[in-house]
Structure 1
């Protein structure tokens, strides 16, 4: 279906920036033209028009660090292996209804999930979502550390196995993008503090980490790492890790090093490590140093307690529907510092699309890209946080969520 859609304004997150009283021509699921409504109306007088002139049109959201398919179903529902993916699809629909059309999923290995990357790919094949998979190893901070990998699935491995060159190479070859490929610190995952007393333990020596990074780079792959704390971030930067996921507890000196080395950061203001998560002020520092930064949920997670920027009163698990909510404090701080709304919205759209290697497909509203966009009552994250204020979600030009 080919049509034109009109908006009160179009926040393109591209060189066009914001087009007031704008319109887009959609042809065969792609963006064919963007410009002022009056101009496009004259050029295409016979084209069907979707009138959203009371609303803002923006790129749809990208959550580049999630655990919706592997850990979330077993955490949220009484699933068995037979019903696991039934729950997973319900969770993915919730993400879609929250304005998210692209995800970066971590496949870590899980004691209750004997599924391969191919199993996860098949389960989501027909959904109106673009899902990239980071294959990983994981260390969970129980009293007796537990280690799993995407390759060995539900079978635990030893700490020694985590640096086995053959296993590392297998993980690296299957990974679609630099997600949480390696856990430099043991993770609390989504367990309570009492259950994971060793969350934060550093798993690798610098020499071991350097060998793992070398394997990824030799294969032409970038590597991302779960890391928090000054010591862990220090060895991550020294070893040549390409993307820091979380980077909670990063120092000002390490922010400078991150910028100088061209390393990217996936900020998770809700939590995800043993330390206090990324504050709005910290994300502003990343911006000021021109570090490519994305904001992600790492969901499903219990939100960190004791921050001034999170509104949650308990530790019940939170999912992708809070992406706008946890991003808003940083986004509004950036606005106070005179950053353009397009640069700010890139935190939830173009920057994570680039991290996934999908910047030529989505993340911006630009001629030739997929028509993945939202019709909303305001700019997501910056002006609105309630998913009910997202009136429509489009994926490849097709309306897949409708609240009108």
Structure 2
């Protein structure tokens, strides 16, 4: 039954808010899907004596999780299920439910063009219209590092395009108009695209000139849009910084000098410890170093990917593709190291809640438990990514104030 206004009580409330931080016996009031007041339970209860109380005093409540770099709807269904074009979108719905059951209520979805489907952003928007999740879309051009480079775009679908189309004015305009946020709009390097190394010998090859990148980012900014890139390796990262990209996705192999330039230019880094480029992915030490230097970092899965052989810090015992349901486990080594180095649990949890919401440009809407934000929160047996990594420990999931997952 829908409750327009109610009070939530938590044994421990980790708000990821600078004002509230962690509250023991904390509470907040939800009205019409939004949080209107946060504070200690006795004080808030006295102010709202007639409200129904959802009593979770034996549990921990945190903001729900956000995975800001995924390929859940376009690439994952055919990689995980025996779907055809007629059932491809059903696979996407199944994966969204899996994400929601794992506490993820916000996704940043890339549309890059797929050799076997011609679904466009409009198709995905219709698919999720009545699904309780927030998905921001980013349109991309993509280059795959096969022996002969292959290029696609989120505008041209399954059609292979020439390299010249990557910098075509109409292509760039389509990316600008169609992108909700700065995802990996531009692949500065060719991607391995989940293939084994021997099949993608040109993975990592730099696709663009500096001038081409400068023109693309200038066009995005001229249209008041931020832009992001897929990039790895010092040379390519230099090009990304020089071109004034707003978000660097992956950033594998970034140097200390480049970190200072990223900080100076207010660039956000989306770390992908699972993989995603031709280089070793972001290690816990890499991520902690970025945070210690003051860089805004979001951890994402880039799902669905197989665990990288170059990431021994991840605790996967199989080679199955991993997506948003593994976000906590993927983030755990870095979040644990942050805590060990003295960072507060709120600061660590920010890497999979508020910071990815910033990437999606949704941080005014969700990402923490704060007055004026959407009531997107989790009831669990521990702090996600710090004390729990198993989705089974996420007991209830709320989205816009409505309970959408209930495992009790």
TM over 0.5: same fold?
yes
- Deviation, 1:35, is 1.0
- Deviation, 1:141, is 1.2
1:102 aligns with 2:91: no
Which residue is equivalent to 1:322? Answer: 326
Q: Take 2:80 and 2:197, find their aligned partners in 1: how far apart are those partners?
A: 18
* 8 Å CA contact retained: 1:305, 1:314: no
- Deviation, 1:17, is 0.6
Which residue is equivalent to 2:9? Answer: 6
Which residue is equivalent to 2:166? Answer: 162
Q: Take 1:306 and 1:219, find their aligned partners in 2: how far apart are those partners?
A: 39
Q: Take 1:139 and 1:84, find their aligned partners in 2: how far apart are those partners?
A: 23
CA RMSD of aligned residues (A): 1.0
- Deviation, 1:236, is 0.8
- Deviation, 1:313, is 3.5
1:359 aligns with 2:328: no
Query: Where in structure 1 are there 5+ consecutive unaligned residues?
Result: none
Q: Take 2:150 and 2:310, find their aligned partners in 1: how far apart are those partners?
A: 28
Counterpart among 396, 399, 403 of residue 395 in structure 1:
399
Counterpart among 385, 392, 396 of residue 381 in structure 1:
385
* 8 Å CA contact retained: 1:165, 1:215: no
* 8 Å CA contact retained: 2:273, 2:311: no
* 8 Å CA contact retained: 1:227, 1:244: yes
Q: Take 1:340 and 1:206, find their aligned partners in 2: how far apart are those partners?
A: 40
Which residue is equivalent to 1:19? Answer: 23
* 8 Å CA contact retained: 2:281, 2:310: no
Query: Given the two structures, how large is their TM-score scaled by the length of structure 2?
Result: 0.97
> What are the Cα deviations for residues 316-366 of structure 1, in whole angstroms up to 9, with x where unaligned?
211111100011111111111111111111101111111111111100101
Which residue is equivalent to 1:185? Answer: 189
- Deviation, 1:46, is 2.2
1:142 aligns with 2:164: no
Q: Take 1:191 and 1:392, find their aligned partners in 2: how far apart are those partners?
A: 36
Q: Take 2:144 and 2:111, find their aligned partners in 1: how far apart are those partners?
A: 14
The answer to which of 152-161 and 312-321 deviates more is: 312-321
Tell me, what secondary structure is at the counterpart of 2:199?
A: coil
Q: Take 2:195 and 2:127, find their aligned partners in 1: how far apart are those partners?
A: 26
Q: Take 1:127 and 1:316, find their aligned partners in 2: how far apart are those partners?
A: 26
1:302 aligns with 2:272: no
Which residue is equivalent to 2:250? Answer: 246
- Deviation, 1:369, is 0.9
Query: Given the two structures, how large is their TM-score scaled by the length of structure 1?
Result: 0.98
Q: Take 2:49 and 2:213, find their aligned partners in 1: how far apart are those partners?
A: 60
- Deviation, 1:306, is 3.5
Query: Where in structure 2 are there 5+ consecutive unaligned residues?
Result: none
- Deviation, 1:288, is 1.4
Runs of 4+ in 1 over 3 A off after TM superposition: none
> What are the Cα deviations for residues 356-402 of structure 1, in whole angstroms up to 9, with x where unaligned?
11111100101111100000111100111011001100001111111
Which residue is equivalent to 2:51? Answer: 47
- Structure 1 segment 219-258 matched on structure 2, within 5 A: 219-258=223-262
> What are the Cα deviations for residues 58-92 of structure 1, in whole angstroms up to 9, with x where unaligned?
00000000000000011111111111111100011
Tell me, what secondary structure is at the counterpart of 1:54?
A: strand
* 8 Å CA contact retained: 1:98, 1:321: yes
- Deviation, 1:41, is 2.0
Tell me, what secondary structure is at the counterpart of 1:110?
A: coil
The answer to which of 45-54 and 223-232 deviates more is: 45-54
Tell me, what secondary structure is at the counterpart of 1:109?
A: coil
- Deviation, 1:157, is 0.4
Q: Take 2:137 and 2:228, find their aligned partners in 1: how far apart are those partners?
A: 12
- Structure 1 segment 190-201 matched on structure 2, within 5 A: 190-201=194-205
